[in-house]
A and B are shown apart, each in its own frame.
Chain A
Amino acid sequence: MSVPRAVRRGRPELYSDYAADMALLNTPAKRAWSAAILVAAVALPLLLDRDLLGLATQVVVYALAGIGLNLIAGYAGQLSLGHAFFMGLGAYTAALLGGTGGATVRGYELDLLVWLPLAGVVPALFGWVVAPLAARVKGLYLAILTLGLLFVGEHVFKEASWLTGGSGLGRAPAEAVVLGFDLYEARVLLGREIPAEGVFYLFCLILLVVLGVLARNLARSRTGRAFAAVRDRDIAAEVMGVPLVRTKRLAFTLSSFYAGVAGALLTVLLGYTTPERWNLLLSIDFLAVVLIGGVATVTGPIAGAAFVVLMPRFIETFAGSLPFIAGTVGAPGILNVFQLQRMLFGVMIVVFLVLEPRGLFGIWIRVRNYFRAWPFSY
């Protein structure tokens, strides 16, 4: 049964079958916005310079890790501070398999098609193994338990110098080469020179779209609902037939997979990485990505990542015009740029928690509802 166009007009939520209702992009507005944002994202390498493209790539990679953290912390409600550890595990798996060896570190110089999947699979397996332990506790206790994991992990990373290069030294990342095609090399596309950062950006963007859609599908499937059930009321979830430990374990495994892939990509982008990088501050960065973007959403962390990555640069660029801010450490002024960045970062987390707990996604919903009801105010 099809509904005539004239009847459908102005009624975006008039469905005549369940498939249309359950589609990911189930209104014309969602389809239009998604297409526009995707086109803009693909066109970025033609518009930005190398420096900004590197930043854009970082946004994409942060979004990927944020989606992973949102699977465990947002959807399944298991607050994990160990995200940076799983990212580090993915990064070093990639560096070991895809990097070049040296006097102190090992490397097998394998193809990206080998090291990138394994950079996800190894942390996922590790998550699968430790999850039953973590599934026994929840809330603050789980946060402390995963914090312990993070500290143990950081120590192991510092000691295992054959893998990580050792404390303070670090090692070079994996080579992003697919079947001889270097993804980190300037290319000519549509008669325009695309810098190396732009090529890698496009690769990361494809991964983000694919893994983002997979996560979104997961969220609307039986597994995603089981995650939410465990988060909202674990006893009722069990009585509904959702096995608690198995569901939490699955959330840990999937989240670690996303973290590992993101960690591997992040090292390729940043170059040399030291074991100290995978610390609590990085985990908190991703909690901020999730909180500012929107808890239990997939599009939220993308907006959150843009916010977390771009805000420091924004401050750095515009702080020069404020008289009391020093451009560098030691220059005259009440605060230097870096202090201002950290402070505003903390302030933004507080502001979002208090004023809009649903994050940027929640603000978007409000704006959308305002225009949907326009010209009425309710």
Chain B
Amino acid sequence: MTTRSLADALRGTSVDLTEGAPLLEVEDLALRFGGTRAIDGVSFDVRQGELFAVIGPNGAGKTSIFNCISGVYRPQEGRVRFMGDDLVGTAPDAIADRGVARTFQNIELFDNLTVVENLMLGRHQHLDYGVLAGMLWVGPARRAELANRRIVEDIIDFLEIAAHRKLPVGMLPYGVKKRVELGRALAMEPKLLLLDEPVAGMNVEETEDMARFVLDIRSELGTAMILVEHDMGLVMDLADRVMVMDFGRRIALGRPDEVQRDPAVIQAYLGEPEVTP
């Protein structure tokens, strides 16, 4: 059996949008927990094929934005338009069905399942046989499982995790888990991929591996990605545009070199210049 390119295995990632229309449009998003404003009127858009980074100090509201896009939280105000449809109020599984996949900051893999089973869970929406067909196995269920297993194996080859294939994910080292989680999101054939701190806690080598995977996904599939990350080197090297957040607000948005020079950003990260007496 010959190996396929990722683009051949995951055909669903291609997006059919009218020229110039943004893939994701977030408008005046506001999320409050009681009196705390986690997100306070944030707007941005992500274009097809773009690598969009969100940075900011801890508690700035970066992960909350992910939770609003993927339907885990419901924002009180604002709109999240994905390929023209408003996602606010849609259930997480329906949002996943439309082609939004994500990874989590603190790995949220299914620990008792093997690597293959975790990736097959990413294929959940693409396996279209029913419960009774699954119980009988012969016929549609078996055909669908075999075809999707092959796709999963293509992803395993791409992420170089073949050695861990049959191991329960709970037993794997941290760096490999992060890769498996990326694989599970890829298996969903996303049109938009949300990566929440993909290199947090990794050493230089692992970070470079992950950066390579992100770049390969981009060049092979052309999937638009939103990256939340604290590793500035990675963000500045990879991202097309960067949004900087602080206390739930957007304080800057632009190309990495523009953002780095922005006084508001410098202030957020380094604090107020000390007034000398």
Query: Interface on A for B, CB 8 Å cutoff?
Result: 1, 17-19, 22, 214-215, 217-218, 220-226, 228-229, 231-233, 235-244, 250, 254, 296
Contact = CB atoms under 8 A, between A and B. Distances in A.
Given A222-B134, A240-B121, A228 B113 contact: yes
Given A18-B146, A239-B72, A243-B91, A221 B135 contact: yes
Given A218-B134, A226-B121, A250-B131, A236 B104 contact: yes
Interface of B: 1, 70-72, 91-93, 96-97, 102, 104, 108-113, 117, 120-125, 127, 129, 131, 133-137, 141-142, 145-146, 149-150, 153, 184, 188
Given A221-B131, A236-B109, 13 more contacts: A217-B134, A217-B137, A218-B134, A221-B134, A221-B145, A224-B134, A236-B104, A236-B108, A238-B92, A238-B96, A239-B96, A241-B124, A242-B121
B123 to A, nearest CB: 8
Contact of A235 (B108, B120, B121, B122): B108
A64 to B, nearest CB: 15
B93 A243 contact: yes
Contacts, number: 110
A9 B71 CA distance: 51
A222 B112 contact: no
Contacts of A237: 110, 121
Nearest to A232: B110
Contact of B149 (A22, A225, A231): A22
Contacts of B1: 1, 17
B134 A241 contact: no
A241 B125 contact: yes
A221 B146 CA distance: 11
A231 B104 CA distance: 18
A242 B134 CA distance: 16
A225 B112 contact: no
B96 A225 contact: no
Given A225-B121, A240-B122, A241-B93, A233 B141 contact: no
B108 A222 contact: no
Contacts of B70: 239
Contacts of A243: 91, 93
Nearest to B170: A232
Contacts of B153: 18
Given A222-B134, A235-B72, A236-B104, A228 B110 contact: yes
Given A22-B145, A218-B135, A239 B102 contact: yes
B124 A232 contact: no
Contact of A18 (B133, B141, B150): B150
Contact of B188 (A235, A240, A296): A240
A16 B1 CA distance: 9
A32 B206 CA distance: 44
Contacts of A225: 113, 117, 120-121, 124
A146 to B, nearest CB: 22
B117 A240 contact: no
A332 to B, nearest CB: 51
17 contacts: A1-B1, A22-B149, A218-B131, A221-B131, A221-B145, A222-B123, A225-B121, A226-B121, A228-B110, A233-B110, A236-B109, A238-B93, A239-B102, A239-B108, A240-B96, A240-B184, A240-B188
